[in-house]
Amino acid sequence: MEAIKKQAIKLREQVAKQQQAVLKHLLHLGIENVAVDESEIECHQQLQNLYNSTRAAKAPSSFSLIEKVGRRLLQVWSGESK
Per the structure, the count of domains in the chain is: 1
Report d(CA 41, CA 81) in Å as an integer: 13
Q: Does residue 58 lie in a domain region?
A: yes
21 in a structural domain: yes
Determine, yes or no, domain membership for 43. yes
- Look up the pTM and report it: 0.38
Domain that holds residue 24: 2-77
Q: What is the pLDDT of residue 45?
A: 78
* Per-residue model confidence (pLDDT) at position 32: 53
58 secondary structure, DSSP code: -
Query: Would you say residue 41 lies in a domain?
Result: yes
**CA 3 centroid distance within chain:** 21
With respect to residue 23, please indicate whether it lies within any of the assigned structural domains.
Answer: yes
Q: What pLDDT score does 35 carry?
A: 58
What is the mean pLDDT for each group of 10 consecutive residues in the chain (82 residues)?
A: 82 84 74 62 78 64 68 73 52
pLDDT at 69: 76
The alpha-helical segments, DSSP class H, found in 1-82 are: 2-28, 38-55, 59-77
Q: Tell me whether residue 82 is in a domain.
A: no
The pair phi, psi for residue 25, each rounded to 5°, is -65, -45
Quick check: is 30 in a domain? yes
